[in-house]
Copies of this chain bind each other. A is one copy, B any other.
Amino acid sequence: MARSPASRGARAATLSDVARLAGVSVATASKALNGRNHVHAQTRARVLEAAQQLSFSPNSLARGLLAGRSGTVGLLTSDLVGRFSLPILMGAEDAFGAGQVSVFLCDARGDAIRERHHVQALVSRRVDGLIVVGSSTDPRPPLVEGVDVPVVYAYAPSEDPADLSIVPDNVGAGRMAVEHLIACGRTRIAHISGDRDYSAARDRVVGAEAALEAAGLEPVGEVAYGTWSEGWGRAAAGLVLDRHPELDAILCGSDQVARGVLDTLRERGRAVPEDVAVMGFDNWEVVATGSRPGLTSVDMNLEELGRTAARAMFDAIDNEHARGVQTTQCRVVIRGSTAPVA
């Protein structure tokens, strides 16, 4: 039963192995490897070399067990395939990756049962915190129970105002969009939005109308709600142009809608941006850069949102946690559809 240097088939080296090879005790080896004081420089060197030689890698499980913290966090998404989760996830992974924490990724696929299952697994793995990423900006029910670690909701806020949620500033995005169009000299701005059932659509409209009013401008026609698709953009553009041929700009609820609008404008011989300026939301690269001309769009800064959520989680782990809904800034990315390229 005595521990042999190398047990079954190249088992990972342990601290005892290192200590034995260096001719010291495990405690000394531990101190040496962790850069603690009270260890002779020469001894430290011997230990380090032994560790190197055995390609020793400290067992985080044992360390975590002892420390009470695992150095891991859970990232729980409800819709990984959707295009919004990914950048958030990247931002979070980025913020964590810089430190010493690793990220557990779970996709609940919008299923509450599966979500509970994943939460249970994460709790069992003693994650130090949890980020819950929603698939739309509509509020979602909070995690049910038994979660004793800090939770931050990203993109979709929690319905419980006592929770901390980080969401993009859609109202601000709508405002910035209109302000950009005005800065481009447009005054007759129509608005073809997306699905009215989404708060993202409604919030952007709120911001856009506020900006129009602040500039003393009237909207051109009613806001046209529909779906988040190219097809809707094509159809709606036709209707709006029939009714308001005098318009000089169309603000679109998303980049996809904008692509459809661009198609219809080209078919009708309206020049973009000279005659009509067009812009969208989301700044979805493949959609926004593939069009002719390139599509000006409001970037929701989702990666930054992910980073913010991660930092908020760090703060919540250390100190006490903040509460309420916090928004992150968006930014306008200018392309040819609103301003002629230089």
Contacts and interface: CB of A to CB of B under 8 A. Distances in A.
Interface in A58-89: 58-62, 64-65, 70, 72, 75, 80-81, 83, 86-87, 89
A120 interface: yes
Contact of A121 (B102, B118, B260): B102
Interface in A85-108: 86-87, 89-90, 93-94, 97, 100, 102-107
Contacts of A72: 104, 125
Contact of A148 (B12, B94, B121, B231): B12
Given A124-B60, A148-B12, A290-B259, A81 B90 contact: yes
Contacts of A118: 97
A123 B75 contact: no
User: Which are the 5 A-B pairs with shortest beta-carbon distances?
Assistant: A105-B105, A230-B290, A55-B146, A60-B125, A61-B65
A1 interface: no
Given A90-B80, A107-B93, A123-B57, A148 B102 contact: no
Contact of A65 (B62, B87, B105, B124): B62
Contact of A124 (B57, B97, B120, B284): B57
Nearest to A267: B266
Contacts of A12: 126, 148
B120 A57 contact: yes
B81 A87 contact: yes
Contacts of A121: 100, 102
Contacts of A65: 59, 61-62, 65
Interface of A: 10, 12, 55, 57-62, 64-65, 70, 72, 75, 80-81, 83, 86-87, 89-90, 93-94, 97, 100, 102-107, 114, 118, 120-126, 145-146, 148, 229-231, 256, 259-260, 263, 284, 286-287, 290-292
A122 B284 CA distance: 32
A146 to B, nearest CB: 5
Contacts of A126: 12, 59-61
A10 B230 CA distance: 52
A107 B90 contact: yes
Contacts of A125: 60-61, 72, 102
A235 to B, nearest CB: 12
Given A72-B104, A83-B286, 9 more contacts: A59-B65, A59-B124, A61-B61, A90-B107, A94-B107, A97-B118, A103-B106, A104-B105, A105-B105
A112 to B, nearest CB: 15
